[in-house]
Structure 1
Amino acid sequence: MIDKLSWVAIYPEIVLLVMACIIALVDLSTTDARRTRTYVLTLLTLAVVAVLTGLAANEGKTAYGFGGMVVSDPMGNWLKCFATVALMVTLVYGRPYAADRDMLRGGEMFTIGMFALLGMFVMISGSNFLLIYLGLELLTLSSYALVALRRDNAVASEAAMKYFVLGAMASGFLLYGLSMLYGATGSLDVNEVFKIIASGKVNHQVLVFGLVFIVAGLAFKVGAAPFHMWVPDVYQGAPTAVTLLIGAAPELAAFAIIIRLLVEGLLPLAIDWQQMLALLAIASLLVGNLAAIAQTNLKRMLAYSTIAQMGFMLLGLVAGVVNGNTYNAQFAYSASMFYIVTYVLTTLASFGIILLLAREGFESEEITDLAGLNQRSPLYAGVMAIAMFSLAGLPPLVGFYAKLAVLQALIASGQALYIGLAVFAVITSLIGAFYYLRVVKVMYFDAPVTASTVSAPRDVRTVLSINGLLILVLGIVPGGLMTLCAKAIVATLAN
């Protein structure tokens, strides 16, 4: 008999699943080329789910359901809330783009997007290896379908095939690592695995062997070097609306499973996985920032930028356990959570501008396509400039505070190695500032390619303005969001 608490733990997932099925059926009778009814229903559903998860997170309670397989805690609920809002914003930005490219012949973009979000929810809520993996597969299979949504586009089909092949390999890595842990501990439950490893009765070499494959699989999911090879090709090849869909909200779910697996399940092995994450972070910062300088394609540049940003996020996870003590854990992990949330917020704005500038038959993917944007539309040039400055880490924008929080966590450890990592991160960020500032220079100082003004639907214009304003406001007063992340992480560590 399944108790009432189990259903309470997953009610946002139930609402999302039921409504996704209903919307898929409603869409069958929709003849409108822009899928207005499907679009409105999807946004209303996502708004309700965001409110439900936000209220659950605000209560600050942790509940387990289905025999401990599912956990509903503040960190998970806030990440679900942010992922839902990110998907809503993505659909607002992406709908005009998709309509111009005949991608709305069916409502697949909306319904598959909701199933992808359901996969993220399952990943975030999973407290069991099998459940986490099922959520991951639901998300990745939905992502493959979305990348190939433009069936008549050879570039998109090629990107989907690359994503599918490399994604299957990464899933295999993760599954093999989880199976090794199951073989060593005899349990699939994350909390039970933690207790068994902490007892010290399991062969350490077997655990580390499984850990290597788990970290490799997780590194692929966040796009960290040297497992980054899919990111530039998929970002460039996928329709821009889909690029934003797979590049924003899923990063929050990827962060969640890193916390669930490495922190909640494998914290006794922190000395091992922190070293692996440090190497991944160093490689990501180097590869991402240096390769981005050479790019002329804006989406490809932002893909390499993502690799570098994920390297910075991983640095926060590196400094959690120092000499066996976890006193720095809440600061380090909350800094990483703050970083990933603010990164997603900034990514939404930057890709929102690319989607806005794209017209029927014209993608606006090259950096030169932004030439003279300030003369054509000062508002949108301003939003893009704010996004670029934030990604570069310039004050007073939220990207600066996110980087500062991670650097403070590294320095607070008091370890020479981590302080060295902080210095390295600052140097690579200075290198990275070049390609972000180049975009701003093109918008403000280059002659415009076309004299036409930029027009946008009212919903896109409103959301984009709020998006840009949030990047600025959260940079000036970051305390609220930082406190929220800290409380969520403390509640998770206390379980």
Structure 2
Amino acid sequence: MPDIQAPDLSFAALAPLLFVLGAAAAGVLVEAFVPRAARHRTQVALALVGMLGALVGTVLLAGTQEVTAAGALAVDGPALFLQGTIAALGALSVLLFSERALDPARSAFVAAAAVPAGTVRDRELATSTRVQTEVYPLASFAVGGMMLFTAANDLLVMFVALEVLSLPLYLMAGLARRRRLLSQEAAVKYFLLGAFASAFFLYGLALVYGATGSIRLSDIGAASGRTGSEPLLLLGLGLLVVGLMFKAGVAPFHSWTPDVYQGAPTAVTAFMASATKVAAFGAVLRLLYVGFGDAADTWRPLVYTLAIVSMVVGAVLGLTQTDLKRMLAYSSIAHAGFLLTGVLGVDGSGLAATMFYLLAYGLTTLGAFGLLTLVRDGDGEASALSGWAGLAQRSPVVAALMTFFLLALAGLPLTSGFTGKFAVFRATIEAGAWPLAVVALVASAVAAFFYLRVVVLMYFAEPAADGPTVGVPGLPTTVVLAVTAAATLLLGLLPGTVLDLARSAAVLVG
């Protein structure tokens, strides 16, 4: 009987993943065995320990260039940079979860035990105000899948990571209780379209294996350099790209994005909008650069086209939105197109620029959605643009912070958005795709209109008599807003250190 040898594992290199997934598994046990009264704070502490431990682990592993788990995982500069970004965004998202329940109109610290028992209505109210602690292990599993996604060095592990990060998100999107029908509709749409995208990815995996005889990205890269434009390989690559572009929210694979952003609880939307895009583009970079780097001429036209379509769709349709969450959804679609311009760099500058952009965009988006959780009416968060009229008179601080985040998303100077766009556009021009950079500049100008429309509405419109109220943020939300605002400012004023870090990390191993 032949000996079965276990693959070599570098537990030190896998420490960030082990921290997060270990916390997720422990969170499941907490749900099963810890009394409800102590469960919420235990879950918050556990999730934060896992994500902050992963963040510290990525910092300690800086400079590592290692392939482990029988070649299935690559621990290199881009993987560690993006894993650290995801862990930081995940920790900030947990703070948003911790302050208020996923029911948009109620405080998270309202316990079911506080409602007197005795009537059916009392029991229904107790159920509706119960803290949804299951969100913490779900978020930890999703973060673990995202971190694995950016480090996957073969297509099968990449597919497993895709499912590990996606399944918790499908559940989290349907956790809102006040607007249950809208939330559950969003979750079902996300699940069904996500299943189609996963099927595309899996079929593409099979075709690439048939064309190259391997699922290892380095082997695929060597084979693609030899076989060139073999139809089976090109078809497989196309299907893989479709699966990844769905997760990244790139048009025309974006149809889930506005509905899910609007229907999901806002704290969950913040998590999805920031961390998921980082993970998806991390996988895109690894697939295209490591797996098909020697065949760049075969996929550059596809990425070129997708970038234009995504920028145009996001910028133009964003102009027609009357709901702030849907507007930010189309903003994310446009930003996905801007990110693809950096992917076309196909060298160290393009890779570094894209990583910096992902960090800047993730922090800014998380801050904007964090502010959305504070402005409420009787139905929950007041995401309708009409509710934001005259907000500066009700809460000058919230209006000023939202203005700052929107200007950063528009890419105005002295913000992280300007630095990120400048970096990816320069990489695009250096790669010879200057017409794409021109389209991106025009799309940025169009998108700036709907950001500025919100600013004008907040400062120059009269507030409605029955307008929404602005809640006072507790300590967790205050920390999130302070960190995201400070990072958005510093990455705009003094981006040199982080840009240098991204450039030094922009070395992929396979």
1:245 aligned onto 2:241: no
Residue 289 (structure 1) aligns with: 315
Letter in 2 for 1:477: L
1:431 aligned onto 2:449: no
TM-score (norm 1): 0.92
- Aligned with 1:315 (options 321, 326, 341): 341
Distance 1:207 1:269, change over 3 A: same
TM-score (norm 2): 0.90
1:436 CA drift (Å): 0.3
Q: Counterparts in 2 of 1:340-489, with a 5 A limit?
A: 340-358=358-376, 361-413=379-431, 415=432, 418-449=433-464, 450=467, 454-489=471-506
Q: Is the 8 A contact 2:266 2:369 kept in 1?
A: yes
CA distance in 1, matches of 2:405, 2:258: 19
CA distance in 2, matches of 1:11, 1:451: 45
1:459 CA drift (Å): 2.3
CA distance in 1, matches of 2:129, 2:340: 35
CA distance in 1, matches of 2:187, 2:94: 20
Letter in 2 for 1:173: F
1:372 CA drift (Å): 2.3
1:193 CA drift (Å): 1.3
- Aligned with 1:89 (options 92, 98, 109): 92
Letter in 2 for 1:81: G
**Corresponding residue SS for 1:130:** helix
1:386 CA drift (Å): 1.0
1:43 aligned onto 2:48: yes
1:127 CA drift (Å): 0.5
Residue 195 (structure 1) aligns with: 222
- Aligned with 2:13 (options 1, 9, 12): 9
Q: Which moved more, 1:292-301 or 1:100-109?
A: 100-109
CA distance in 2, matches of 1:387, 1:238: 21
CA distance in 2, matches of 1:344, 1:283: 22
- Aligned with 2:296 (options 237, 257, 270): 270
1:68 aligned onto 2:74: no
Q: Which moved more, 1:47-56 or 1:109-118?
A: 47-56
Q: Is the 8 A contact 2:375 2:469 kept in 1?
A: no
Q: Deviations over 1:266-305 (max 9, x none)?
A: 1122112111011011111111000000000000000001
CA distance in 1, matches of 2:166, 2:426: 34
- How many residues in Structure 1 have an aligned counterpart in Structure 2? 479
Distance 1:88 1:9, change over 3 A: same
Residue 122 (structure 1) aligns with: 148
1:106 CA drift (Å): 4.1
1:151 CA drift (Å): 6.1
Q: Is the 8 A contact 2:200 2:242 kept in 1?
A: yes
Distance 1:451 1:150, change over 3 A: closer
CA distance in 2, matches of 1:64, 1:161: 37
Residue 356 (structure 2) aligns with: 338
Residue 160 (structure 1) aligns with: 187
Distance 1:183 1:429, change over 3 A: same
**Corresponding residue SS for 2:176:** coil
Distance 1:279 1:232, change over 3 A: same
CA distance in 2, matches of 1:38, 1:360: 29
**Corresponding residue SS for 1:358:** strand
Deviation beyond 3 Å, 4+ runs, structure 1? 1-5, 101-106, 358-361, 449-454
Residue 22 (structure 2) aligns with: 18
Q: Is the 8 A contact 1:97 1:359 kept in 2?
A: no
Q: Which moved more, 1:14-23 or 1:339-348?
A: 14-23
Distance 1:45 1:404, change over 3 A: same
**Corresponding residue SS for 2:254:** coil
**Corresponding residue SS for 1:9:** coil
CA distance in 2, matches of 1:242, 1:359: 19
Identity %: 36
Residue 200 (structure 2) aligns with: 173
1:216 aligned onto 2:242: yes
Query: Structure 2 unaligned runs (5+)?
Result: 108-127
Q: Deviations over 1:419-467 (max 9, x none)?
A: 1111111111111110000111112222233485531102211321221
RMSD: 2.0
Q: Which moved more, 1:105-114 or 1:9-18?
A: 9-18
Residue 260 (structure 1) aligns with: 286
1:373 CA drift (Å): 2.4
Letter in 1 for 2:175: L
**Corresponding residue SS for 2:10:** helix
Letter in 2 for 1:425: A
Query: Structure 1 unaligned runs (5+)?
Result: 321-328
Distance 1:92 1:451, change over 3 A: same
CA distance in 1, matches of 2:211, 2:396: 59
1:358 CA drift (Å): 3.3
Q: Is the 8 A contact 1:285 1:308 kept in 2?
A: yes
CA distance in 1, matches of 2:489, 2:229: 50
Q: Is the 8 A contact 1:5 1:64 kept in 2?
A: no
